[in-house]
Structure formats: C-alpha cells, structure tokens
C-alpha cells in the first residue's frame, strides 16, 4: 500500500510543460496516446515507437531484436502470431510503404 500519493493538477504533460527541466523530478519518457507514443521533458517525440501488430511501445533495443519486423512483429508479439496473421501484417506494411512513397 502506498502511504504518499500525489496528484499533478493539470496532469503530467502540464507538469513537463511548466517545470524547468533542471528542477524536474520526472525521469525518462512519458507515454502518450497518440502517434508520438512517448515524449521527453521538452514534449518532443521520444525514442519509443509502436509495434503495428500488437500496439506495444517498442524501444531502440526492441527494434534491434531479431524478432522485430517493421509493421509485422516485435519481441513482445512475434511468438503469438499465426502465419496467416504475419502474412496479413506484411501485406499491410507493403501498402503503408507504397502509400508513403506516393505521398499519401
């Protein structure tokens, strides 16, 4: 049981926005529920990305894993997918890449 629990009025992002980084007690990145995935103290996109298969945040180390395939799998989900699922994710990733190449 926690004896001292605090509430940040305005939330974590407001704290990061208003608190000078040198005085901040915040360490690391903050998970956000948008395409940025995580932000640093300056509210800039952090190092984490999102696995498009399982939606878990993935670090640079996760992306170096043999189990990471962009858009298809990561170390968190590679062993939980069926071959049909992998094929579906690979096809979706090809479509995403084509759309980006075409500026869509």
Cα–Cα distance measured from residue 88 to residue 92, given in angstroms and rounded to the nearest whole number: 6
How far, in Å, are 18, 62, 64, 77, 81 from residue 10 at the CA level? 10, 32, 36, 34, 39
Residues 42 and 88 in one domain: no
Structural domain of 56: 52-104
Structure tokens at 88: 């579906």
Q: Which residue has the tokens 């990061």?
A: 16
Number of domains composing the chain: 2
Q: What is the pLDDT of residues 72-104, one digit of tens each?
A: 999 999 999 899 999 999 999 999 899 989 988
Q: Are 42 and 57 within one domain?
A: no
pTM recorded for the entire structure = 0.70
Contact assessment for residue 67 and residue 75, using Cβ atoms and an 8 Å cutoff: yes
* Dihedral sign, Cα of residue 56, residue 53, residue 93, residue 90: positive
Based on the domain organization, do 60 and 101 belong to the same domain? yes
């Amino acid at each position: 049981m926690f004896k001292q629990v605090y509430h940040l009025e305005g939330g974590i992002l407001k704290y990061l926005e208003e608190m000078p980084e040198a005085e901040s007690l915040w360490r690391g990145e903050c998970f956000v529920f948008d395409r940025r995935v995580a932000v640093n103290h300056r509210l800039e996109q952090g190092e984490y990305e999102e696995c498009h298969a399982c939606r878990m945040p993935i670090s640079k180390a996760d992306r170096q894993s043999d189990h990471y395939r962009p858009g298809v799998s990561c170390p968190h989900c590679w062993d939980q997918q069926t071959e049909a699922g992998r094929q579906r994710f690979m096809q979706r990733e090809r479509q995403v890449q084509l759309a980006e190449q075409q500026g869509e």
